[in-house]
Amino acid sequence: MRQFRWILTAAALASTCALATPPVVPVAAQAPARGPSGIDLAGIDHSVLPGNDFDNYANGNWKKTAEIPADRSSTGIFLQVFLKAEQRNADLIKAAAASNAPAGSDERKIADYYAAFMDEATIEKRGLAPLQPELKQIDAIASRADLARVLGSGLRADVDPVNATNFETEHLFGLFVSHGLDDATHNIPYLLQGGLGMPTRDYYLSDDKDMVATREKYQAYVAALLKQAGVADSDAKAKAILELETKIAKAQVDIVDSQDIHKANNPWPLGSFAKNAPGLDWNTYFKAAGLDQQKIIDVWQLPGIKGLSALTASEPLQTWKDYLTFHALNESASLLPKAYADLSFGFYGQTLSGTPKQRDRWKRAIASTNVALGDAVGQIYVKKYFPASSKQEVEQMVKNILAAFDERVDHLDWMTPATRQKAKAKIASIRVSVGYPDTWRNYGTLDIRADDALGNQQRAKKYEYEHQLAKLSQPVDRGEWWMTPQTVNAVNLPLQNALNFPAAILEAPFFDPKADAAANYGSIGAVIGHEISHSFDNLGAEFDAQGNLANWWTPEDQAHFKAAGQKLVEQFNAYEALPGLHVNGQQTLGENIADLSGLTIAYAAYQKSLGGKPAPVIDGLTGDQRFFLAFGQSWREKIRDAALRQRVISNEHAPGRFRAQTVRNLDAWYDAFQPKPGETLYLAPADRVKIW
């Protein structure tokens, strides 16, 4: 569903580390009591009219008492399910610690990775020693060719297909590997813009007073981190680094342009880079990156790649060296001595997200272990926590919702027969994977040591990069998973025409095998519908059934689709998240289309599941009321202002409270809650957005 990027993990405890045992957390206390309906009745605020604010009607009483944990920037249903998975992962750590797994086994690697992360005494003792090879390589840069070599050797893979349009990395460029946009039969490398220490270009370029203040704090953080590492003239160098990153930000394209898949279709022959994007020594760069044997590389953000390349030639070499030194420290701060980790949290946790307290070290260790060894942990997780019965029930729900989508396409009065035929073919070919992948990653060659925390992380990143490079000489794997089973999220993969629903999100209250059908369809059903609908949002609709970038629309159908999308853009543009800060309807359009279409299709599937019989009244609520309340409560959220600002500016998702208001576009919601003209959310029938 491409919602929050919570990377869940499970890990294992090494018996050699006395500090590594995570405490037991009573997760059940985090979850509100639910009645037979599956709805949190106590969370509803009956003093709010549903037609004025459905989010606060569904969640108002919950918001009055809910507290954001001190180590979090927000709370809500996602955190509730996350905490459940986190505690399970902690239990897996204990089990692996007790297993005395042999050297080289996945269990031993998990245990050793976790133990090394928890071994603060060794981390303090070693200081910057684990980072010295990288720092010395940077210090030795004496020419533009040297700069290209260091930049190329540091290239790493973006393994998040959701966010491949905006590479979130310390590195100047990022790599994404998947099949070609015009040829779904062969994998190719995509080069992505990167290079910023703050979330997006807006943080560098906006004149908003909060952004200006954030830039000042970022410069102070850069200076403090350099000073902590003993770098001379840290204040002056921090100023120069911020100035360089501001030029990088100006060179980058924004999120909306990055989402335009047609602008991303720029396959360049390797030999054309020097001419097309002068500045960087591309031959040296690609050789150092292991890409020198590729025939073509797709340039995702063409103006961004050109601008970044030019900067490598125009900006002083010393500034680049200082920039790379800072980013080497910044990227590794969590696994350097405490002083570095605290500085990093002070900026990224407190300043950018408003989070007052750093997460306990065992929680950070779990998260890091799962990033490095996600599939190894995932195999253990699903064996213990994801029964075959849940997998079968969710797979049946997916089939029901796909069938409802297919049936709805048959009855779209605006769609011509030619487009309808192509849409139905795409629905029929969607590959759905529930719980976990068919094949698991092999970590046999990944070297994990119980006394080398930073080295483990560095080797894991390099291992992932090499795994992605290896795909360039292999057949396209349409069953490839891009999330681990223990991730609380879901994803649609337009290039594969595939959906992944990890095991960890298939938990109450999203999915409860014992709950009423209305609650399940309104919650996990809408999630499933959301992911299916991504195949037909403003991005997914650009791809055919095979995953090729191809226009399968008639001109009149495409015009209708875009006009409906524009109405949704305008609807979300009107939402004000903070004083003066509105949601960007275009930036969030794909997710908003998926929310609306997913909810519509989930509702149709729920009605079909009743088999023509009336839904029972449970807890005083009709079936339709339970369905919409389950949807609204799935998006309940309390979030700190700084985190909300970051979400609005840099994320493709609207804040949860506005996603809950999507109900205003469905006729059935009006029948269920009787909103009246003049109420805030009320839309006349002709103004309700209907896309799928």
Predicted confidence (pLDDT) per residue in 142-166, tens digit: 999 999 999 999 999 975 544 433 3
Q: What is the pLDDT of residues 244-265, one digit of tens each?
A: 999 999 999 999 999 899 999 9
pLDDT at 541: 86
Write the single-letter amino acid at 125: K
> Pairing between strand 431-435 and 498-502?
parallel
- In three-state secondary structure terms, 500 is strand
Burial of 135-171, coded b for 16+ CB within 10 Å and e otherwise, reads bebbeebeebebbbbbbbebbbbbbbbbbbbbbbbbb
Structure tokens at 428: 């029929």
Distances (CA, A) of 215 to 61, 82, 218, 347, 643: 37, 32, 5, 11, 16
The sign one gets for the Cα dihedral 564, 552, 397, 496 is negative
Strand partners, 191: 175, 299
Burial of 331-348, coded b for 16+ CB within 10 Å and e otherwise, reads bbbbbbbeebbebbbebb
Where in the chain are all domains bearing CATH 1.10.1380.10? 129-335
Structure tokens at 550: 């191809």
Where in the chain are all domains bearing CATH 3.40.390.10? 27-33+41-88+372-687
> What is the CATH superfamily name and number for domain 27-33+41-88+372-687?
Collagenase (Catalytic Domain) (3.40.390.10)
Whether a cis peptide bond, with omega within 30° of 0, leads into 69 is no
Q: Calculate the CA 460 to chain-centre distance.
A: 20
pLDDT at 31: 62
> Is the per-residue pLDDT at 606 higher than 60?
yes
Q: What is the pLDDT of residues 394-422, one digit of tens each?
A: 999 999 999 999 999 998 988 999 999 99
Please say whether the beta carbons of 449 and 109 come within 8 A.
no
Q: What is the pTM of this model?
A: 0.89
Q: How far apart are CA 382 and CA 393, in angstroms?
A: 16
Q: How far apart are CA 74 and CA 407, in angstroms?
A: 38
Structure tokens at 506: 């298939």
pLDDT at 169: 55
Please say whether the beta carbons of 365 and 117 come within 8 A.
yes
DSSP structure class, residue 523: I
Tell which CATH architecture fits domain 129-335: Orthogonal Bundle (1.10)
Please give the average per-residue pLDDT across 130-136, as a whole number.
Answer: 98
The sign one gets for the Cα dihedral 302, 304, 308, 311 is positive
Q: What is the pLDDT of residues 430-462, one digit of tens each?
A: 999 999 999 999 999 999 999 999 999 999 999
Quote the crossing angle between the two packed helices 388-410 and 417-429, to the nearest 10°: 170
Confidence category of residue 552, pLDDT binned at 50, 70, 90 = confident
Please say whether the beta carbons of 148 and 282 come within 8 A.
yes
DSSP result, 455-521: HHHHHHHHHHHHHHHHGGGS---TT--SS-TT-S--EEETTTTEEEEEGGGSSTTT--TTS-HHHHI
- Work out the angle at residue 315's Cα, subtended by the Cα atoms of residues 310 and 321, and round it to the nearest 5 degrees: 115
**Through-space distance between the first and last CA atoms of the chain, rounded to whole angstroms:** 17
Confidence category of residue 170, pLDDT binned at 50, 70, 90 = low
> Is the per-residue pLDDT at 27 higher than 70?
no
